[in-house]
A and B are shown apart, each in its own frame.
Chain A
Amino acid sequence: MTLSEIANGKLAPRTGIRLDNISKRYGDHLVIDDVSLNVEPGTVTALIGPSGAGKSTFLRCINLLERPDSGTIQVDHHTIEPGKVINAKDLAALRRTVGMVFQSFNLFPHMSALKNISFPQQKVLGRSKEEADERALQLLERVGLKDKAHQHPGRCSGGQQQRIAIARALALDPSIMLFDEPTSALDPEVGLEVLAVMRELADDGMTMIVVTHEMQFARDVSDTLVVMADCRIIEQGDPRAIMSDPQEDRTRRFLRAVLER
């Protein structure tokens, strides 16, 4: 079975997500300036750009960890307007549909790897402990960490923790996965094992939005490359096309900086 099949029991209905005119400011400081993005079901979107461009903030707006000041989010027949009052049902539906993986893993340090993955299933989806544990073990096996099931995160390496975090998100059957610089806190070598898991997930047809500095991953795995700079999207399209022939001067400068490193 593939990763997402294990995650879903069956193949999840593929879901895309559409964001329109998202803006976000902190006080007088504009961080997202009228950004729109349409992600087709089953595709991988890589979000790159210089730091401070607003990539992470934008990603965090998608599942409303950051509340945009205006714009609309459409996912799975739900339309959410963050500028207005969000009802609890829409928020719950959004969070259920969208899974997220953080740069700093954010596993629960007081729970074993198994419990990290099993506990949210029981609370959010109402699964029985047996069912949730079984699902958790399957996922742990799939990310190559079955032997770590009863270890606490503090006993695991960064790469292992991140794979556990991916398993934790997948256990809730999301149809879209957000990755916020999932390998930035890891040694390059360790990052590879995380990228391998993500690549597999992409091959399974998971809809993914990935903020990353891993240019090779962006080129090889993503279907769409989105370049953000100065709080907005400056260029998007086929990753190979953009990387070999960027249209914007700002993109060219950024790519030169990362590729010639």
Chain B
Amino acid sequence: MTWLIEWAGYLPQLMSGLGVSLMIAGVSIVAGYPLGLVLSVMVQHRNLAVRTLGLAVVEIGRGAPALVILYLFYYGLPKFGIAFESITAACLALIWNSAAYSSEIMRAGMQSVARGQHEASAALGLSRGHTFFRVIMPQGMRSAIPGLMGVAIQMFQGTSLAYAIAVPELMKSAYNIGSQDFNYLQIFALAGICYAAISMPATWITVYFEKRLARHT
């Protein structure tokens, strides 16, 4: 039973790491999703320049691994005199990541809205703006909810990448503890349990929402 006592001893340090991970994930979602909404509108825009700009931001955010973006922000930008704290760089990179992924989910949600909704809006004489923001978007966002929750879980797990630029998040805390007495197996298992303890219930909630939404549409 001594390992249990050891684990309990690790917990405070791990918990502070978990707190940082949750904070980064929270920031990337709270800032990333509204940005994702803007991007999803941009990629559907009639104006080619707006559409192209939106597409570029989305495709880079989805196409490049988050770690590459993270390194670009942390190691690359100082070259232009823009230097960030490691945690700020991590947040910015993950915001871009979550904005890009969420925008595609929102776009797909909005494009799944029945054609009849566009037709009814047009027949009533509603403007493009009213049609989009009052008719299409609310319905599209509704069907995007489960997907957005899935991205949130990914974002939380993605915060482990911030370890690579020495942000004191969960992985970094685990590594620090492990390097003290080389008990890596136990400590990384514990870190894994910490990630799972958040991600699994979140997945269950997502599945619940999926079922609920499926029933009401």
Contact = CB atoms under 8 A, between A and B. Distances in A.
A106 B125 contact: no
Interface in B80-107: none
A108 B135 contact: yes
B124 A168 contact: yes
Nearest to B135: A108
B77 interface: no
Interface residues of A, number: 23
A106 B122 contact: no
Nearest to B122: A65
B123 A123 contact: no
B2 interface: no
B134 to A, nearest CB: 7
Nearest to A109: B139
Contacts of B134: 119, 123
A14 interface: no
A123 B120 contact: no
B66 to A, nearest CB: 34
Nearest to B127: A123
A65 B217 CA distance: 25
Contacts of B130: 123
A168 B127 CA distance: 16
Interface of A: 63, 65, 92, 95-96, 98-100, 102, 104, 106-110, 119-120, 123-124, 154, 168-169, 172
Interface of B: 114, 116-117, 119-120, 122-127, 130, 134-135, 138-139, 142, 216-217
Given A110-B142, A124-B125, A168-B124, 8 more contacts: A92-B125, A106-B119, A108-B120, A120-B124, A120-B125, A123-B134, A172-B124, A172-B125
